[in-house]
Amino acid sequence: MSISKIVVIGGVACGPKAAARARRREPDADITIIERGDLLSYAGCGMPYYIQGAIETADELMSTAGGVVRDAAFFDSVKGIKVMGRTLAESIDRERQVVEMVSLETAEKSQVPYDKLVLAVGADAVLPPFPGANLKGVYGLNSPHDAEKIKDSMLNGCKRAVIIGAGLIGIEVTEAMATHQLSVTIIEMMDSVVPAVLDFETSSKLEKHLCDQGVCVMTGTKVKELHGDDTGQVNAVITDQGIVEADLVLIAVEVRPNIKLAVDAGLEIGETKAIKVNEYLQTSDPNIYAGGDCVENLHLMSGKPAYVPLGSTANKHGRIIGDNVTGGSSTFPGVMGTAVFKAFDFNVGHTGLSEKDCVRLGIPYVMALTPGPDGAHYYPTAQSMTLKMIASPEGKLLGVQAVGEGDVVKRIDVAATALSCGLAVSEISDLDLGYAPPFSSAVDLLSHAANVIDNKINGLGRAISPVEVKHMIDAEEDFILLDVRGQHEVEKTSLKNERVVNIPLGTLRKRVAELPKDKDIIAFCTVSLRGYEAQRILDGEGFDRVRFMDGGLVGWPYSLDQDWRET
């Protein structure tokens, strides 16, 4: 029996995982990794924390849990896998089943045959077309080498940093730079931060927190060019909103799948411009597999192809590919776009579909915006968070996002599990979740959001989003904002608008005659639990134009200091 030849192109996440899994399944296989860089199997998601100083050395990003660096010698001695570093795979001859390559050190050309080929070539950072992107002091964050350069720059006199792009990497590096006492400005072309992950209500919470930490956030702003001094060192970012001085610029706009090899080899490319694969992660050539940031996947909630590059997905792909190139039949069902990250004291997470996704895809939905604590409200360590849940009109869970100082990730992970199981919101509130005052309230916030949506679907709750309320104010519509909080709460925080009428919930039944039945009434409180109760009370009194405002004042994504009489 001949020894199978497995060749892996790409040595960062998916590739090494596939090679290692293949080795465990087939001890006699001839396995080769081709990697154009000089670093292997590094944790790219850990780079912001190395820049910050939470991780002391870059070697820790490339080490096993036992502290052994995963270099070529490690793969050779421990895994029995040959690594060809600093080697570029130039082309694939599918008919001969050969990879043509060139050494980036010596320019020597060579080739390696394969029985099974794995493309784990990742993605490349997009370099925007504006002038000055090649100035000194302008960086991307694509490898630990970049992280080391950024850290060295920060420790050598850099005082003003500009981050172009408010995606996940941009936000994480913002905290890292601020930790080193740099003045940090984020410039984002879209109207909100992390626009691919968060809706406006949750994004605005994160943006306010960034500003509270001293970060200057410029959304809806386009970069026109980068300006440098006589030595070629960047010193300013020119935008359509003015000039921002800078000693260091990080470009973290987006990444695009690396598909050149696949295109040149005639492999099929998907709708998202990433490599198309089937459930076995096979390309259109059954002897070639692909995984990680270079491929598209099925989005399990929309049922459509999606490009969601994540390290967690790349590692899952690697294991499945390692199975299948050694005779297995493992499958990858798809993704839900689950992502979590940290921004100063805030935890942020998303899974499934957002409201923006539903609008874009034409999917009907019901939304609930529910602020609350991550533990019992009376427990001293309880921290706040705001959760947004999306469901179908029939009650099927579609997505959840959350932001705040509380334990967001726990709720996102439960939601991701519920989505994977196809649960309805009514089934989420039945989940036997762990309860103790330090960890959750008796009805966890995720279950509370599910109950809110269930009430809406069943006709008990009628709500309006804060964004819709703002639109009504801007349109100068005639309606009543019914604040049902107590006087002491109103004195601390209030929504300034001539439409606001304050009737505490405890007196509402006695004072119901003060409210007109021929106007729209929008009830609210701090989080709108009492707002919902007010709606039900007024329903019982014969009012038929009453709604409550989702999320209450905590969910209001605009400034409460602004006088909304003048909007």
Tokens of 427: 């089934």
Q: Are 419 and 360 in contact (CB under 8 A)?
A: no
Compute the radius of gyration of the chain from its Cα atoms.
Answer: 27
Q: Which of 34, 37, 92 is nearest to 261 (CA)?
A: 92
User: Rounded to an integer, what distance in angstroms lies between the CA atom of residue 146 and that of residue 152?
Assistant: 10
- pLDDT tens digits, one per residue of 360-382: 999 999 999 999 999 999 999 99
SS3 30: strand
- pLDDT tens digits, one per residue of 109-148: 999 999 999 999 999 998 888 999 999 999 999 999 999 9
Tell me, what's the pLDDT at 327? Answer: 97
Tell me, what's the pLDDT at 559? Answer: 83
Q: How far is CA 496 from the centre of its chain?
A: 34
User: What is the set of domains in the chain, with CATH numbers?
Assistant: 5-123+256-324 (3.50.50.60), 138-253 (3.50.50.60), 345-452 (3.30.390.30), 463-549 (3.40.250.10)
Tell me, what's the pLDDT at 129? Answer: 87
Tell me, what's the pLDDT at 1? Answer: 54
Tell me, what's the pLDDT at 566? Answer: 31
* DSSP code at position 60: G
User: Rounded to an integer, what distance in angstroms lies between the CA atom of residue 462 and that of residue 550?
Assistant: 9
**Positions in the chain short of pLDDT 70:** 1, 561-567
SS3 387: strand
User: Rounded to an integer, what distance in angstroms lies between the CA atom of residue 417 and that of residue 87?
Assistant: 40
The residues carrying an active-site annotation are 45
Predicted TM-score (pTM) of the model is 0.94
